[in-house]
Structure 1
């Protein structure tokens, strides 16, 4: 196991690599076509109904912006469009979406640069996260810094098949260039909506354009809404929307948060849960490898069954884990009562106590965001078969992952590069 040398990874709880080979270096997503993602679905019954199911392919488009543009062209509300998962922007992505109450002819007439829609059928329900079973990835890492990447690739491949790779939430979860979502989420959980707005508008990593940095610092120093809005760049639409609301409704910080899209608002809180998960996962790695159970570990099985490792069942747990039937898991706390089962759970409890966050905090957040945060169990490790091919100074990878698992978490074990090279 190796410790990450990158401060941003440490800040987000991604403390370790489990492989000890030097990284290949290189650049991920040098072009969008270097990162191709296709969704895997279960059975979707297309037996007719008001929802038009379409295959959406987009290149270098943020999903929220793509949905907004599609709804604008169709002349319908964005709320009529449903999807299973949010994909990377700088990529070629293929996924199903549902659109309520439009005709096939309307969709076939859409012409948007780098977006294509193909009608797949009609259904009685919209596409949602529950329909998504996983994602296929075809990735190219370019400009690698080693002439012999084979030993690196073989070690990561072996670790992946054995279920040793830590299932960290990737940097994208928190904001690739400005990891602020979890910080805003913690403010919401504490019920400090004024601070949540201030954090989102003013937080800076010092890597944005000068005019953006000036606007953020001005709000940090003064909290002057009008002056900040006057200098806030137009493309920062969510920051501007919050400031606009505060001009119209002075002091209504809860309302200012609610002008952001519902999915973004709920993402703030889920990012806070993700940060807790990453921190707990790094602590679990310090206790032992993810391919062997420890007493107190939570387990999640392929069918969804859960268990807790005890002195009595640890032998059976080892057999199940080696055969790929289950994985160690970490509970991300929410509104349901949290009862620690082992050392990792106790560590999460300590983090919650330090932050002053309780189950009631998640209940309050649910009222604000319209999303329930009951708590969830997430696998601590990644287990997949990874194919690879070396061509000159490039490496091609192919693998599949469950929903919510980040391809960049696997590629970081290979590259061990500056995170800016991987987003």
Structure 2
């Protein structure tokens, strides 16, 4: 597997060094993800936190399996985030504690419950710090380790573009197309089959927001503005996530260069913090080019409330090791950040 959004520009940190080559995700074991919880279960309460390992199956399949094995309604199952399908992943899933005596029935050849603890509340979406990754790139080129050793510290220092990954947009971008059609009024929610409507509606509209963010980010990179603070930009404080409008450009550029703050991009919606002039003109132009207005996002305001997303992410604990003809990458990323966007800095 090698498709990693080749149309989106890279950071440029690799300069004239060749890519490492090779192939990735040849098997689920080549892509290992372990959730970094926001907190550990306290050991008492009316909810079970199940530490689950799944192999080569989707989050939707995992939820269905738990629902069927325990007899629990899907709405009572809690999950902090959806993990990759073609991978080995470990994460917490919560269920009401009344199903504790049936937990072992979840286990099959793809899913194993590794540990069970009690907690006082249901696990909610976003209740994680991030994810720890171990990725293998198989059959790399001869100079791959030299490239990786030179590039890794630069990425730790400067970060990489925080693109949404291809998987966000569905097979042949069908999920994205649905989201854009919904916003433009070409289709309505009633055109989605009732059994899938709630799930697909949220997924498709999110894909449209993500696509626009990727376009915004690719434009800034093309203009060499990824690390440049412009008047009116919405800046994000790395440590706290706080947002503010750039005004003192000299001071804020110094903080950006030091990694204390980063430029943020738009996830359009009525509650998104707006940029100010002249930076806002870039975001307004992006909407016009895609035949959209900010008002169209208010039609689905419960699903497209809007937010800001950091344009740059710095991985932690990034290491690269050569094992025969292969390279093994290990690193941690904050929640919502795609490992594939980091990997493409090395392989493309």
Asked if Structure 1 and Structure 2 have the same fold, meaning a TM-score greater than 0.5 normalized by the shorter chain, the answer is: yes
* C-alpha separation in 1, matches of 2:103 and 2:272: 46
Structure 1 or 2, whichever has the larger Rg, is: 1
2:131 corresponding residue in structure 1: 135
Tell me if 1:254 matches 2:186. Answer: no
SS in 2 for 1:97: strand
Q: Which residue of 2 aligns with 1:217?
A: none
- 1:172 alignment partner in structure 2: 167
Q: Please state if 1:411 is matched with 2:346.
A: no
Who is 1:158 aligned against?
Answer: 153
Matches within 5 A, 1:211-250: none
CA deviations 1:330-361 (Å, max 9, x no partner) are 12111237744256642331232244433332
What is the match of residue 243 of structure 1? none
CA offset digits 1:113-142 (Å, max 9, x no partner):
120113432223211223111100011100
Does residue 184 of structure 1 match 2:175? Answer: no
CA distance in 2, matches of 1:287, 1:309: 19
Distance in 1, Cα, partners of 2:272 & 2:127: 28
Q: Equivalents in 2 of 1:402, 1:258: separation in Å?
A: 34
Matches within 5 A, 1:101-120: 101-120=97-116
Counterpart CA distance in 2 for 1:344 and 1:57 is: 44
CA contact (8 A) 2:271 2:307 kept: no
Residue from 367, 374, 380 that aligns with 2:311: 380
Alignment TM-score, normalising by the size of structure 1? 0.75
Retained in 2: the 8 A contact 1:165–1:381? yes
Contact 1:162–1:322 under 8 Å retained in 2: no
What RMSD in Å do the two structures reach over aligned CA positions?
2.3
Give the secondary-structure state (helix, strand or coil) at the position aligned to 1:288: coil
Q: Deviations over 1:287-329 (max 9, x none)?
A: 325344333332111202112223xx22222332233222111
- In 2: Cα distance, 1:7 partner to 1:103 partner: 41
The DSSP-based 3-state class of the residue aligned with 2:130 is strand
Q: d(CA) in 1 for partners of 2:186 and 2:269?
A: 18
Equivalent residue number for residue 269 of structure 1 = 205
* 1:164–1:290 CA contact under 8 A, matched in 2: no
Q: CA deviation at 1:406?
A: 0.5
Cα 1:156–1:258 change in 2 (3 A) is farther
Residue in 1 aligned with 2:89?
A: 93
Q: Does 1:15 align with 2:9?
A: yes
CA distance in 2, matches of 1:22, 1:343: 38
Distance 2:280 2:172 in 1: 29
Secondary structure of residue in 1 paired with 2:196: coil
| Partner secondary structure for residue 390 of structure 1 | strand
SS at match of 1:102: helix
Runs of 4 or more, structure 1, over 4 Å off, are: none
1:307 counterpart residue number: 244
**Is contact 2:4–2:166 with CA below 8 Å preserved after alignment?**
no
Which runs of 5 or more structure 2 residues have no equivalent in the other structure? none
Deviation of 1:45 (Å):
4.8
Conserved? CA contact 2:205–2:303, under 8 Å? no
CA contact (8 A) 1:276 1:348 kept: no
Residue 280 of structure 2 is aligned to residue 286 of structure 1: no
